[in-house]
């Protein structure tokens, strides 16, 4: 039996890409899943697949930029499954563009989803985990949390912020049996680039994404971090395609 059997895991941004692949893999390992995103029809289709394969899942519409919605999905996990063993703060957006294009609404959206969304996950989950005396945050950053590239200044800034916040959380939860993992994927197959409105950035990403890893590669790394014994903290994982 899997070490994750009967664990309760909340995943944000589970309607596509890495979140969806992670939900499918964890469900096959006996995890009780609580999955959120804005597109309910995608979540419901995923849940229907998981349930028909004998898995355990509940769905809730979630906009991570709204603290109350994040708190509500954590309450749902508690009421349906009694606890929250882990939160995968995965929801993210990446409308890349050069700074001079002044796509200010897109900058703000990245800040709101990628930074505030993660903070809302922490704000909602940390009190619960402290009360339980254990828990695990897995925050999805990016290789862009380590290195900036043209058209990605704001996206990378949000991921640098996720890295800083995650590091701070780890330092502040020492001795509390709360584990904190920063997981940074390189280019991965998903819908992430679909929101790019800048033509040059879109063309560049098309080429760049040719080497993309399947989303299951990131899902397996999430499982690795979750599966470790309670005295083992997987602090940072960077996963890149071989080139």
Q: Please indicate whether residue 155 is annotated as part of the active site.
A: yes
> Which residues 80-139 are close enough to bind ligand NDP by CB under 6 A?
90-94, 113
Distances (CA, A) of 200 to 25, 91, 97, 157, 203: 35, 25, 8, 20, 5
Q: Using the rule CB under 6 A, give the single segment among 16-24, 51-59, 71-79, 167-175 that binds ligand NDP.
A: 16-24
Q: Which of 146, 155, 208, 224 is flagged as catalytic?
A: 155
Q: Which stretch binds ligand NDP (CB under 6 A): 2-10, 17-25, 100-108, 169-177?
A: 17-25
The CB-of-6 to ligand NDP minimum distance in angstroms stands at 25
Instruction: Tell me how far, at minimum, the Cβ of 120 lies from ligand NDP, in Å.
Output: 9
In whole angstroms, the minimum distance from the beta carbon of 191 to ligand NDP comes to 4
Q: Which of 63, 57, 64 lies closest to 34, judged by CA?
A: 57
By CB under 6 A, residue 72 contacts ligand NDP: no
The least CB distance from residue 125 to ligand NDP, in Å, is 15
* Neighbouring residues of 41: CB distance < 8 A, sequence distance ≥ 6: none
Nearer residue to ligand NDP within complex by CB, 95 or 135: 95
Question: By CB under 6 A, what part of segment 31-70 binds ligand NDP?
Answer: 37-39, 42, 62-65
Residue 128 CB, shortest distance to ligand NDP, in Å, is: 19
Interaction residues for ligand NDP, span 131-150 (CB under 6 A): 140, 142
Burial call 117-138: b when 16+ CB within 10 Å, e when fewer: bbbbbbebbbebbeeeeebbbb
Segment 183 to 242, residues that bind ligand NDP, using CB under 6 A: 185, 187-188, 190-192
Q: Which of 12, 97, 124, 151 binds ligand NDP (CB under 6 A)?
A: 12
Residues that bind ligand NDP (CB under 6 A): 12-19, 37-39, 42, 62-65, 90-94, 113, 140, 142, 185, 187-188, 190-192
Q: Active-site positions?
A: 155
């Amino acid at each position: 039996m899997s070490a994750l059997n009967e664990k309760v895991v909340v995943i944000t941004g589970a309607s596509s890409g890495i979140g969806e692949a992670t939900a499918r893999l964890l469900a096959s390992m006996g995890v009780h899943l609580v999955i959120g995103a804005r597109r309910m029809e995608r979540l419901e289709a995923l849940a229907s697949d998981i349930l028909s394969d004998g898995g355990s899942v509940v769905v809730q519409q979630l906009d991570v930029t709204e603290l109350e919605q994040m708190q509500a999905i954590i309450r749902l996990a508690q009421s349906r499954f009694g606890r929250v063993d882990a939160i995968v703060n995965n929801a993210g957006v990446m409308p890349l563009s050069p700074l001079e294009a002044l796509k200010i609404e897109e900058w703000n959206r990245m800040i709101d989803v990628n930074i505030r969304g993660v903070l809302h996950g922490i704000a909602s989950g940390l009190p619960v985990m402290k009360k339980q005396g254990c828990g695990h945050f897995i925050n999805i950053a990016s290789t862009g949390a380590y290195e900036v590239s043209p058209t990605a200044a704001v996206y990378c800034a949000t991921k640098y912020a996720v890295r800083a916040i995650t590091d701070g959380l780890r330092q502040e939860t020492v001795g509390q049996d709360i584990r904190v993992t920063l997981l940074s994927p390189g280019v991965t197959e998903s819908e992430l680039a679909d929101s790019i409105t800048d033509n040059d950035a879109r063309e560049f990403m098309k080429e760049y994404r040719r080497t993309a890893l399947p989303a299951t590669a990131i899902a397996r790394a999430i499982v690795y971090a979750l599966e470790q014994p309670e005295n083992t903290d997987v602090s940072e994982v960077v996963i890149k395609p071989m080139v």
